C-alpha cells in the first residue's frame, strides 16, 4: 500500500528507544518534516535531554516542543475525574487513561501552530492507548492524518528496534539494568505490564514497585493528615493551601511512605483481550477515600446514589478514550453540578497500606445529630415511621390481597 503524502507530523516524543526510532522512521518512510512534542506530566524522568536527542536527529529548534503540563494535568483532568470517584472495574484509578486526552489535545494544538498535517504516537496495535490517542485526535481535528508506526512496521521486538537504531546511527542509552516491564508514569500513577506479569498467577517481585514502600516495611506508627475540600476539589493539606500538582505530589509522598496504593489486577482492554497490570496510585488512593468521605456529609441521598450509578459509565468512557465525547461532557456537567457544596475537612489515618477516614466536618453538612441520635430528641416523631412504611408497602399489600398465589410462591406454601 502506497504511503500517504505527509508534509509535517507532530510526534509524541519521549526521547526513549521507541520514539527515537519512530522519529527517524517517519523521516525515512514518509519523507516528512517532524515536530517533536514532549509532555512533562510528572513522570519523574528528566525531559530536558529530549531536546538534545531531537536536535541530534536533525529536528529544527523551532520544531521541538517541551511543555510542563503538571498543573493543567491535575486541575483539568485528574480533579474532574476524581469528582466522579471514577474507578474502572472496581480497582483501577485510570492513571494512564486520564493522561492521554491532554497529550492528544496538545499534539493537535501544536499541529495547528506549526502547520502540520499529521500526528503520530508510539502506542502498539494491541493496547488501549492507540484508541485513546486517536479518538482524541479525531475529536479535536477530524481532518488530521494519524500515523501509528506499530501498525505499519515490522520492528516488533526490542532486538529489531536496537538493530534499526544501530543501522541508522541513533544513540540509545543501554547502560544499567533493563526493566523487564512496560511502564507508564505520571503524577497520578505508575503502571507495570508485560514479561513475568503476563502470568496472572505469579506474584510480582517486591523490587518491581518503584514508588511505594512495602506495607510490611512501612512505619509502625500511624500518621494523621487532614485534607480540605472546596467545590469538590482538594485545596489544602493540614491547613496549607497548595496548587493542584503540588497537592497531588504531597499526597503521593504520604502514600509512598505508608505503602498505600498498590493494585494488581486483570482488566478487560477495549480491544478485546484481558491484560494483567500492576499499578501504584498512592495520592489518588488517599484522595478517593477523602472525597467520598466529604461527599457523605454534603450530598443529598438521591443525588449521591444517582452519581454512583453514573460512575461506572463515566469511568468506562475515560478508560476507552472517550474523554472528548458529548456523553462524557454531559455526565461531567451533571457531576460538577453536585459539587457546589462539597467542601470541608476530612481527617485520615495512614497506616501500613491502609487509608482510614477518622473524621469529616463541613459548615454545609447535611448530617443532623438532632435527628440521628439514639438519645431522646424533640425533632423526630418515631410514630411517623409507621405511615411511611405502610405507604411504601401499599403496592405489596394490594398485590397480596388480589394475587395471593404470589405470596404462596414467595414463602414456599403449596
> Which one of the listed residues 129, 132, 262, 362 is annotated catalytic?
129
**Distances from the Cα of 124 to the Cαs of 117, 152, 392, in angstroms?**
22, 10, 55
> Which one of the listed residues 18, 117, 308, 336 is annotated catalytic?
18
> Which one of the listed residues 182, 296, 325, 365 is annotated catalytic?
182
> Which one of the listed residues 14, 83, 97, 100 is annotated catalytic?
100
Provide the total of helices (H) and of strands (E) in the chain, helices listed first.
15, 14
**Distances from the Cα of 286 to the Cαs of 21, 226, 252, 404, in angstroms?**
39, 11, 9, 52
Confirm whether 28 is a catalytic residue.
no
Please list the residues that pair with 184 across neighbouring strands: 191
Confirm whether 372 is a catalytic residue.
no
Nearest to 9 by CA among 137, 172, 168, 139: 137
**How far is residue 99's CA from residue 104's CA, in Å, rounded to a whole number?**
9
For 279, the grid coordinates are: 499499578
**How far is residue 371's CA from residue 323's CA, in Å, rounded to a whole number?**
42
**How far is residue 240's CA from residue 30's CA, in Å, rounded to a whole number?**
52
Confirm whether 129 is a catalytic residue.
yes
Confirm whether 336 is a catalytic residue.
no
**Distances from the Cα of 338 to the Cαs of 49, 228, 302, 369, in angstroms?**
44, 17, 11, 23
Nearest to 46 by CA among 177, 173, 212: 173
Residues with active-site annotation: 18, 100, 129, 182
Amino acid at each position: 500500500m502506497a504511503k500517504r503524502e505527509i508534509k509535517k507530523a507532530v510526534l509524541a516524543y519521549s526521547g526513549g528507544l521507541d520514539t527515537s526510532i519512530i522519529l527517524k522512521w517517519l523521516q525515512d518512510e514518509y519523507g516528512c518534516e517532524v515536530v517533536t512534542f514532549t509532555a512533562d506530566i510528572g513522570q519523574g524522568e528528566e525531559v530536558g535531554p529530549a531536546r538534545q536527542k531531537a536536535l541530534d536527529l536533525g529536528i529544527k529548534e523551532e520544531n521541538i516542543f517541551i511543555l510542563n503540563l503538571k498543573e493543567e494535568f491535575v486541575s483539568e483532568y485528574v480533579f474532574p475525574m476524581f469528582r466522579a470517584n471514577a474507578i474502572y472495574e472496581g480497582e483501577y484509578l485510570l492513571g494512564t487513561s486520564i493522561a492521554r486526552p491532554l497529550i492528544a489535545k496538545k499534539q493537535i494544538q501544536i499541529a495547528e501552530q506549526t502547520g502540520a498535517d499529521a500526528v503520530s504516537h508510539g502506542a502498539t496495535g494491541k493496547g488501549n492507548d492507540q484508541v485513546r490517542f486517536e479518538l482524541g485526535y479525531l475529536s479535536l481535528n477530524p481532518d488530521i492524518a494519524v500515523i501509528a508506526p506499530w501498525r505499519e512496521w515490522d520492528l516488533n521486538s526490542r532486538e529489531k528496534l536496537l538493530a534499526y537504531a544501530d543501522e541508522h546511527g541513533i544513540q540509545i542509552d543501554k547502560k544499567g539494568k533493563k526493566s523487564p516491564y512496560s511502564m507508564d508514569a505520571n503524577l497520578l500513577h505508575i503502571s507495570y505490564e508485560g514479561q513475568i506479569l503476563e502470568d496472572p498467577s505469579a506474584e510480582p517481585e517486591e523490587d518491581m514497585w518503584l514508588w511505594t514502600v512495602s506495607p510490611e516495611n512501612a512505619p509502625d506508627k500511624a500518621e494523621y493528615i487532614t485534607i480540605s475540600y472546596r467545590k469538590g476539589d482538594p485545596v489544602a493539606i493540614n491547613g496549607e493551601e497548595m496548587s493542584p500538582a503540588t497537592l497531588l505530589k504531597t499526597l503521593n509522598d504520604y502514600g509512598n511512605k505508608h505503602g498505600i496504593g498498590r493494585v494488581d489486577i486483570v482488566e478487560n482492554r477495549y480491544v478485546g483481550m484481558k491484560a494483567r497490570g500492576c499499578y501504584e496510585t498512592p495520592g489518588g488512593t488517599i484522595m478517593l477515600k477523602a472525597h467520598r468521605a466529604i461527599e457523605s456529609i454534603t450530598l443529598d441521598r438521591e443525588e449521591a446514589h444517582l452519581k454512583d450509578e453514573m460512575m461506572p459509565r463515566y469511568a468506562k468512557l475515560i478508560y476507552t478514550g472517550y474523554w472528548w465525547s458529548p456523553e462524557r461532557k454531559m455526565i461531567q456537567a451533571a457531576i460538577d453540578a453536585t459539587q457546589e457544596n462539597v467542601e470541608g475537612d476530612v481527617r485520615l489515618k495512614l497506616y501500613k497500606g491502609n487509608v482510614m477516614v477518622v473524621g469529616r466536618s463541613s459548615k454545609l453538612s447535611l448530617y443532623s445529630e438532632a435527628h440521628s441520635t439514639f438519645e431522646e430528641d424533640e425533632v423526630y416523631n418515631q410514630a411517623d415511621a409507621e405511615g411511611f412504611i405502610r405507604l411504601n408497602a401499599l403496592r405489596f399489600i394490594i398485590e397480596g390481597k388480589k394475587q395471593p398465589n404470589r405470596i404462596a410462591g414467595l414463602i414456599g406454601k403449596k
